[in-house]
Structure 1
Amino acid sequence: MTTKVRAIRGAITAAENTKEAMRDAVTELLTDIETRNQLDYEEVVSVIFTVTSDLDAVFPAAIARENPQWTSVPLLDIQQMQVKGSLEKCIRVLIYVNSHKPQTEMYHSYLRKAEKLRPDLSLTSGLR
């Protein structure tokens, strides 16, 4: 069975613009994605993080690199475009993985206030 590149999305909000709050949020988000998708780090191609302009205390990629399993994965941080009325203190992630699973079996994590970005994927709505 051949592998294909798949994408896993996720988002979470930080309680405040501090290294500690951002570390807590990024760690929670990555742990949820890793667990629910049973990630094999050897199959992770790359990861892109975006943050809203109100978060600048630390790079999410620097937090990810604190976990030894992420140190050899190419990581990139980008500032998200500013849209009036959009969710504040939001960290988003896009993870590219090689997988035998179809895209429909990838679990996308939207946590804390970021649940409102994709209510169709929220655990609280009874869906995956």
Structure 2
Amino acid sequence: MLERDKHKYYRYLNDTRYKGDWTQWIQFFLQCVHLQAKQNVRLIQKVNDLYEEDLEKASALVNSHNIRTVVNVMFQHPIFTANMMAELTGLPEATVRRYLNRFEEQQLIFSDGRMRSKTYYYYNLLDQLR
């Protein structure tokens, strides 16, 4: 909001300096804070909804009580490797690779396609955060 209306912001800010008019600037600034807070609340709700949806999808793909741990790590680190996922979840790397292959087959995650040191991308979350 401030970036979009930066000319208005600077005009009101200059009015505080040259005219002593703080009211306009304070009202404008508070309005920007209010709008940004509303946008952030909407984003948080979208991310929460995404978590529930993708946890359900992941649970349908892999029948394991560990799947929540894997999804939690994906939300904390939406760009990751199998090795990193294994370290963060405490699961064996072979198990993690099996889960990730299944997720990639169903396009829940995507990879860079390399054979070794493959990097995975959880675009569902990355797209929300952009």
Find the structure with the greater CA-based Rg: 2
TM-score (norm 1): 0.29
- TM-score for both structures, normalised by structure 2: 0.29
Which protein has greater RCO, CA pairs closer than 8 Å, 6+ apart? 1
**Higher fraction of helix:** 2
